[in-house]
Chains A and B, each alone.
Chain A
Amino acid sequence: MSWALASIVDAGLVLGVVTMLCGLAGIGDDSTDAVAFACVGAVLAALAAVARRRVAPPERPGTGRVFAGIGLLWTALVMFGTVLYAGSGTLARLDDALVESAAGFTTTSLTLLDAAEASRSVLLFRAATSWVGGLMAVWIGVVTLPAVLRSTALIGYTTGRRGLDLVPSASTGQRRVLLLYSGFTAACVVAYLLTGLGVTDALVVGLGTASTGGFTGRADSLAGCGGATQAVAGAGMFLAGAGIFVVWWIARGRLRSLWRSQELRTFVVLLAAATAAMGLHRGVGWGEAAFMAVSAVSTTGFAVVDWTGWGTATTVIMLVAAGIGSMMGSPGGGMRVMRVQLLMGSAGGELRRQLDPYAVVLVRRNDEALSQRTLDRLGGHQVAYVVLVGVGALLLGVSGVSLLGSVWGSVSAVTTFGPAVGEIGAFGLLDGVDRAERLALVPLMMGGRMSVPPVLAGLGLVMNWYKAAVRRGRFSARLALRRLEALAESRSGDG
């Protein structure tokens, strides 16, 4: 399990530094949270720095271990956030702290905090949880799976050949991604400052934009902000949803790569289609439609208006947009444009085979033909994704949410979008949602954030343990039976 430990240590180092900075930024505020956050952050960073020298990841960890490690990593992050929220008294109850922490690290725009009452440190820490979660998601998608596992079976979850450009090796890739992600965040924050936002607000919204987290310092998201701020948010969400590769190409001035990216072209077309479909609706402005479309597709969750009142067709478009989600290499969630493209190609191939059973239909990704085995595996993962949404809706429905609220809430949580039609609402506020329903959202957000394979790996481990336990049980039963027989024989012999 040393790969998992090494990942947790890396994440702990980043999280410790960020938490400490949040605490330091809050000093001077009249809250005591600042000192607590600064101290905890400093201790965590120091511990992680010491541990980093001692824990070395193995050269080639197994697939199962990597996935189990990813699951463990997210769990550790969420637990840390929970302890800090509950320990600092920000949220009195442990379950509320768990929900807030899970929403933060999974970059889901759902919150229990009253932004008007929260201190600067808490607001910054909440945004930072999203930022760290987003960074981990990009690291896992862009570095861990392609560079550590090097498995073509995970083609739908990795970035293929183009990833080699940004990630020639795991360590270089990790460093480059951190630099790009931090640079992009800094650019967002500066842009927000230029539009007139205060420093704290600019930091919070900037972190929320770059990570597709969607937290702001206000209860009505970005509804009360000026047009310039909303325009910056729109552009930032687009880039965040487009992913780290697009940022990398822009930073390197590679416009041809931008044009040649099949996934980016589809992403733009989807965005345009969603904007047009919503903009045509009566009473919806084109600017609002474009903003909400990019918010949904990037699964950020910012809102400039209560879109749940726009009409049924519009809300379905939002649901579909969030369901498809962002591009590969983005901190956003959803099924991902690439995977949807591959699945559509696969379905088209099946239609073709109905007419000609012997037809050889190739599904390509950026000129790379994929094997049927890869597509089947991707199909299996997507079935699991749909099952996760279905089970989530059932969990919410059983815990008392309305039918629409259950379906929307489950899709929204699994895609890490956040806002939803029904009890949750357009601004992702969980005040009106019962305790059991909030808790039901936690596994959905976590499962969606991990993009299914780690969940399946977890299930696989449980299955293996179960099989081993059954085998052990049978063996023990057989042994006991033999002993009994031997005992009976010896007694009859004595007799």
Chain B
Amino acid sequence: MAEGGVPAAAPTGPGPLRDRFASTTLHILGIALAAVSLGMLACALLEAATSRRDTMALGASALVAGAAGGLLWHLTVPGAIRKRDIFATVAWTWILTTVVGALPFMLAGTFAVPGAGFVEQVVNSVFESASGFSASGSTVLTDFESPGRGLMMYRQLTHWYGGMGVVVLAVAVLPFLGVGGLELITAEAPGTTSDRLTPRVSETARRLWMVYIGFTACATVAFFAADGFSSLYDAVAHAFTLAATGGFSVHADSIGHYDSVAVETVVIVFMVLGGASFSLHWRAVATGRLPHHRNSEFRSYLGVLAVASAVIVILVWLESGLPLGSAIRGAVFTVVSLGTSTGLSNATGPGSPGDYVTWVAGAQLVLLFLMVVGGCTGSTSGGIKVMRMQVLGLVMLRSVQHSQTPRAVIPIRLGRDTVSENVVSRVAGFFLLHFLLVIAGLLAVTALGGELETSLGSVVSALGNMGPALGEAGPTSNYAVAFSQPARLVLALLMIVGRLEILPVLLAVVPYVYRVRALTRAARR
């Protein structure tokens, strides 16, 4: 057993692997970069076949990422995974993948607008990359016409990679990680635990990716059909977003560009499915039966979406004076989009029915609540997650019962399952950390010049990987307008922190603290 109770993976591989440097972090980073470089290469080919504007940028980026990833993959071998290294592995893989993933935007000069210096271009590229890989969907892109199709597809592809997770992808190709691999998936995946679909962890990761790919294919076909078979490019691009519950679109006005009820309906259905657990989807495919209705989290998730939609429809209809049909269309789409942490918008312009920043404060507060909650555990969505909110609600209910009978032993039950007290404590701790991060983020972003309402919405949105926020960062606006460069970097970091559900990033420094301690002790001796 390795330190921290996690069994060690094979410290060295067979044959020639014995001479390589043992580092799980670098090995997984190598695989992740190699995978991202393949995406860049595919997009470079698409660019070459269409507009050819950004082919060189994408090709060069693919080369750099591929070379770096290939070298790391080839020169290292997974070492023993200690508990304290797991979080660092996941956090550093994400941070460095985000930085390398910003290369195409930098090299293509996507953000080289008049008046923007080099630093601003770098900041914007990193922000866009962080937003992409974390499946947030916040954007600083103002000109949607200039970038070529390949680059825009790469932007969508960052969502797709980030949705299921680059570490899950890496684990899928590492057959000998064992239980350490499951810990890696758990550290990256949204939720309190990770479902083990098969006894082999790499097989579990592979199946999750298979479901993900199948989901993307279905979304592509449905979107293509709903859009009248007009653009396969649009369908694929939006399918990437829908599978990852991301929020990027190839159009400046997002789904509002189509102004079509059919497209919006398809998008709503896939957003709802994207916000549900992929383990449930796998079981549905594997058994041929739908297990969703038996899952208490999924039922609560649908309940939250339905109640929020009803409340907002009433508020918007009564207060904003919109026709009932427009109110329903705008409210339901927005609720599902923000409730699943997707962030797509059906607003056709400022002040249109889907432009929720013009709605009454009560409706916006409900949306803020949805941004905090997010989707189900095991899904690609962000936020605190419905299951955690269920546990917190039951903890509160238990407090109500304890006020009458202080000595009673009251277990917390979700459906037929009893939630262990360890999980309850973990959920309470997570909620507190999330709350503290919102406050810390709000302090940082407002100190860097953000307007209060916009900052509040954006910090909640970034931590929940939502995309659009409130105020000046609403669905028809842009983060470049609303925030200074340092504030954008803070938000980018919050998106990564939110995507990894806080703990990996907070605990990423722990191995280095241990190493410094060991060095200090050695120096003393």
Contacts and interface: CB of A to CB of B under 8 A. Distances in A.
Interface of A: 63-64, 67, 151, 153, 311-313, 315-317, 320, 343-344, 346-347, 349-351, 353-358, 372, 375-377, 379-384, 386-387, 390, 393-394, 396-407, 421, 453, 456-457, 459-461, 463-464
Interface string B496-514: 0000000100110010000
Contacts of B450: 312
Q: Kindly name the residue among B361, B364, B503, B506 whose own CB sees the greatest number of chain A CB atoms within 10 A.
A: B361
A397 B362 CA distance: 4
A394 B510 CA distance: 40
7 contacts: A63-B404, A357-B422, A372-B421, A383-B392, A398-B362, A403-B453, A403-B470
Contacts of B401: 460, 463
Contact of B83 (A313, A346, A356): A356
Contacts of B424: 376
Given A346-B425, A350-B433, A376-B395, 18 more contacts: A64-B403, A64-B404, A153-B402, A311-B446, A312-B450, A313-B446, A316-B439, A350-B426, A351-B429, A375-B425, A376-B428, A380-B399, A383-B395, A383-B399, A397-B362, A401-B361, A403-B364, A463-B400
Interface in B433-466: 433, 435-436, 439, 442-443, 446-447, 450-453, 455-456
A307 to B, nearest CB: 13
B398 A380 contact: yes
A346 B429 contact: yes
Contact of A347 (B4, B393, B405, B429): B429
A350 B502 CA distance: 12
Interface string B372-410: 000000000000000000001101101111111110000
Q: Kindly name the residue among B422, B426, B452, B456 whose own CB sees the greatest number of chain A CB atoms within 10 A.
A: B452
Contacts of A355: 4, 83-84, 507, 510
Contact of B395 (A380, A404, A459): A380
A384 to B, nearest CB: 5
A320 B443 contact: yes
B365 A357 contact: no
Q: Kindly name the residue among A151, A315, A344, A384 whose own CB sees the greatest number of chain B CB atoms within 10 A.
A: A384
Nearest to B87: A354
B5 interface: yes
Given A390-B369, A397-B360, A421-B452, A377 B402 contact: yes
A397 B365 contact: yes
Contacts of A459: 400, 403
A156 B393 CA distance: 20
B63 interface: no
Contacts of B435: 386
Nearest to A386: B435
A379 B400 contact: no
B365 A394 contact: yes
A353 B421 CA distance: 13
Contacts of B396: 380, 383-384, 387, 456
B406 A153 contact: yes
A350 B426 CA distance: 6
A52 B149 CA distance: 84
Nearest to B449: A312
Q: Is the interface of A mostly helix, strand, loop or mixed?
A: helix
B315 interface: yes
Q: Kindly name the residue among A317, A343, A380 whose own CB sees the greatest number of chain B CB atoms within 10 A.
A: A380
Contacts, number: 154
A421 B453 CA distance: 11
Contacts of A343: 432
Given A320-B443, A351-B503, A381-B399, A403 B425 contact: no
CB-based closest 5 A-B pairs: A350-B429, A380-B399, A398-B362, A397-B362, A397-B361
Contacts of A406: 361-362, 365
B67 interface: no
A202 B252 CA distance: 62
B226 interface: no
B430 interface: yes
Q: Kindly name the residue among A347, A372, A381 whose own CB sees the greatest number of chain B CB atoms within 10 A.
A: A347
Given A313-B443, A394-B365, A379 B428 contact: yes
B12 to A, nearest CB: 25
A354 B362 contact: no
Contacts of B369: 390, 394
A457 B400 CA distance: 6
B422 to A, nearest CB: 8
Contacts of A399: 362
A460 B403 contact: yes
A350 B5 CA distance: 17
Contacts of A351: 429, 433, 503, 506-507
Nearest to A357: B5
B362 A394 contact: yes
A456 B366 contact: no
Nearest to A64: B404
Contacts of A384: 396, 399
Contact of B361 (A151, A357, A403): A403
A435 B363 CA distance: 20
Nearest to B450: A312
A376 B403 contact: no
Q: Kindly name the residue among B369, B399, B503, B507 whose own CB sees the greatest number of chain A CB atoms within 10 A.
A: B399
Contacts of A354: 87, 503, 507
Contacts of A357: 4-5, 422
Contacts of A460: 400-401, 403-404
B366 to A, nearest CB: 7
A413 to B, nearest CB: 15
A95 to B, nearest CB: 21
B317 interface: no
Contacts of B393: 383
B344 to A, nearest CB: 22
Given A312-B446, A376-B421, A404 B404 contact: no
Contacts of A453: 403
Contacts of B439: 316, 320
A357 B289 CA distance: 36
A254 B8 CA distance: 56
Interface string B10-21: 000000000000
A460 to B, nearest CB: 4
A347 B395 contact: no
B452 A151 contact: no
Contacts of B366: 394
B436 A316 contact: no
B45 to A, nearest CB: 42
Contact of A457 (B392, B395, B403, B442): B403
B503 to A, nearest CB: 6
B209 interface: no
Nearest to B430: A350
Contacts of A400: 360-361
Given A398-B315, A460-B403, A383 B451 contact: no
Nearest to A396: B361
B431 interface: yes
A347 B398 contact: no
Contact of B404 (A346, A381, A421, A457): A457
Contacts of A151: 406
A382 B455 CA distance: 24
A174 to B, nearest CB: 23
Given A356-B4, A463-B400, A379 B395 contact: yes
A344 B455 CA distance: 24
B483 to A, nearest CB: 12
B429 A316 contact: no
Contacts of B442: 316
Nearest to B454: A312
A151 B405 CA distance: 12
Given A357-B5, A383-B396, A404 B452 contact: yes
Contacts of B429: 346-347, 349-351
A63 B406 contact: yes
Contacts of B425: 346, 350, 353, 372, 375-376
